Amino acid sequence: MTEPVVGIDIGGTKTAAALVGPGARVLDRREAPTPARGGPAAVLDTAAGLAADLLAAAGPGPVGVGTAGTVDPATGAIRYATDSLPGWAGTPVADELAARLSRPVRVTNDVAAAALGECWAGAGRGRGHVLLAAVGTGLGGAIVNDGRVEGGARGAAGQLGHLPAPGTHRLRCGCGRYGHLEAIASGTGLAAAYALTGGDPVTGREVARRAAAGDATARQVVDRAGAALGAALAGLVALLDPDAVVVAGGAAATLLPAATAAYRAELPGGWAHVPLLPAALGADAVVVGAARLATAPPHHHGGTST
């Protein structure tokens, strides 16, 4: 990258745009609440408005986008999305933003964008094969091989949140089914498990705070969630053979101690050298990865529109 590029992060609660320069340096940033209940047009208008403020300082190339939902790699449209963005499924994000910005637009899933960012300038830098787990309100994942996100047949590879997890048969995953890893190792999972274990109804963030403050029930919930995540990641290392596993997201720091212990205990000997690392880019990971997406050959990552 020789000129600044605009990267956009469209999430269920906030939307951000950043001007990203050489070396993944964030030169300028804009952020606003996502008007999710206003429908796809309002969400796209917000994203375009934030990006438009930055385009004058960017080079003439494409804009990159990391968005919630599963992205069709051929078209940049949304194949599937949860109700955090009502009506988002079917939205032709690449086409709609290209029309609003008069620029080519490249689109991928937000977790895939975060993985690209971490591999370019974060915890995965210098490593060819990386598995990223994003632990936030839900649980997502992405696989990066030599700078390319492995999308699978439908652009949805890496959805580790839907792996079966022991002890979660009473916990409902965001997909609507029970017994999945996301149902325990996520912000919503922490909240649900805490309530089932006798705690009062609070957010996952509050469960984490109470665990740190010495609440025994919250500590048990956090440790169980971290252990489930770590064991699952160890199994995925044996399946995917990455150079490293990176854990990102708002709940990552809470789960990492227990996850690391379980990961090390479960990791097969042949992969004992594969580290489990905390992500390094924080809230900038998606916009930085989206900027990386914009500068890569279009067939590498996601859908493109001109």
**Local confidence band at 42 (pLDDT 50, 70, 90 cut-offs):** very high
**∠ CA 77-292-52 to the nearest 5 degrees?**
65
What does pLDDT average to over the chain? 93
As given in the structure block, the two tokens for residue 107 are 């689109």
Q: Which amino acid is at 288?
A: V
Q: What is the number of alpha carbons within 13 Å of residue 74 lying toward its C-beta?
A: 4
Q: Which amino acid is at 247?
A: V
Band of the pLDDT at 298, cuts 50, 70, 90? low
Q: What is the pLDDT of residue 303?
A: 63
pLDDT band per the 50, 70, 90 thresholds, residue 302: low
**pTM for the predicted model, two decimal places:** 0.92
Lowest mean pLDDT among 15-19, 89-93, 110-114, 134-138: 134-138
Contact by Cβ (8 Å): 184, 165: yes
- Per-residue pLDDT, 152: 86
pLDDT in tens, 155-200: 788 989 999 998 899 999 888 899 999 999 999 999 999 999 999 9
Dihedral of the alpha carbons of 236, 237, 241, 245, in degrees to the nearest 10: 110
* β pairing state of 129-135 and 244-248: parallel
How many CB atoms within 10 Å of residue 78?
25
Contacts of 200 (CB under 8 A, 6+ apart): none
- The C-alpha angle 180, 185, 190, rounded to 5 degrees, equals 110
Residue 286 predicted with pLDDT over 80: yes
On the question of pLDDT at 35 being above 60, the answer is yes
